[in-house]
Chains A and B, each alone.
Chain A
Amino acid sequence: MSYPSEDSLRRGIAFVAALGVGVATYIAIAESGGGSPVCLAGGTGCRTVAESSYSHVAGVNIAIFGAIGYLMLLATAFFANDAARFGGFVVSLGGFGYSVFLTYIEIFKIEAICQWCVGSAVLMTILFLLNATRLVAYGGAELQEAR
Chain B
Amino acid sequence: MNDADRRTKLMQLAAGTVFLAIVVVVALIVVNSSSSDSAGEPTSEAGREIAGELRGIPQTGMLLGDPAAPVELVEFGDLQCPVCKGFAEEILPPIIENQVKNGEVKIDFRNFTIIGPQSVDAGAAALAAGEQGRGWNFVELFYENQGAENSGYADAAFLEAVAKSAGVENLAKWNEDRKLLRPQVEETTEEARQLGFTGTPSFAVKGSSTQGLEPIGTPSSTEAIEEAIEAAG
Contacts and interface: CB of A to CB of B under 8 A. Distances in A.
Interface stretch (B28-36, B44-52, B58-66): B28-36
Interface in A62-118: 82, 85-86, 89-90, 93-94, 96-98, 100-101, 104-105, 108-112
A24 interface: no
A41 B199 contact: yes
A39 B199 contact: yes
Interface string B3-14: 110111111011
B92 interface: no
B18 A93 contact: yes
A124 to B, nearest CB: 12
A48 B78 CA distance: 13
Nearest to A112: B150
Contacts of B114: 39-41
A38 interface: yes
A36 B25 contact: no
Interface in A105-141: 105, 108-112, 135-136, 139-141
Given A39-B114, A135-B14, A109 B199 contact: no
B101 to A, nearest CB: 26
Contacts, number: 108
A82 B84 contact: no
A142 B7 CA distance: 10
B150 A86 contact: no
B7 A140 contact: yes
B3 A143 contact: yes
Given A48-B115, A82-B10, A93-B18, A40 B199 contact: yes
Nearest to A85: B10
Interface range for A: 35 or more
Q: Is the interface of A mostly helix, strand, loop or mixed?
A: helix
B149 A52 contact: yes
Consensus secondary structure, chain B interface: helix
Contacts of B9: 140
Nearest to A37: B83
A108 B200 contact: no
A143 B4 CA distance: 12
Contacts of A100: 25
B151 interface: yes
Nearest to B28: A101
B148 interface: yes
B98 interface: no
Interface in A20-44: 36-42
Contacts of B28: 101
A2 interface: no
A135 B10 contact: yes
A136 B10 CA distance: 9
Given A94-B21, A97-B24, A101-B25, A38 B202 contact: yes
A100 B22 CA distance: 10
Contacts of A48: 115-116, 149-150
A94 B24 CA distance: 10
Interface of A: 36-42, 48, 51-53, 82, 85-86, 89-90, 93-94, 96-98, 100-101, 104-105, 108-112, 135-136, 139-144
6 contacts: A37-B220, A41-B199, A48-B116, A97-B24, A104-B29, A105-B32
Task: List 10 tightest A-B contacts by C-beta distance, closest first.
Answer: A140-B7, A38-B199, A41-B114, A39-B81, A40-B199, A140-B6, A139-B10, A53-B148, A97-B21, A97-B25
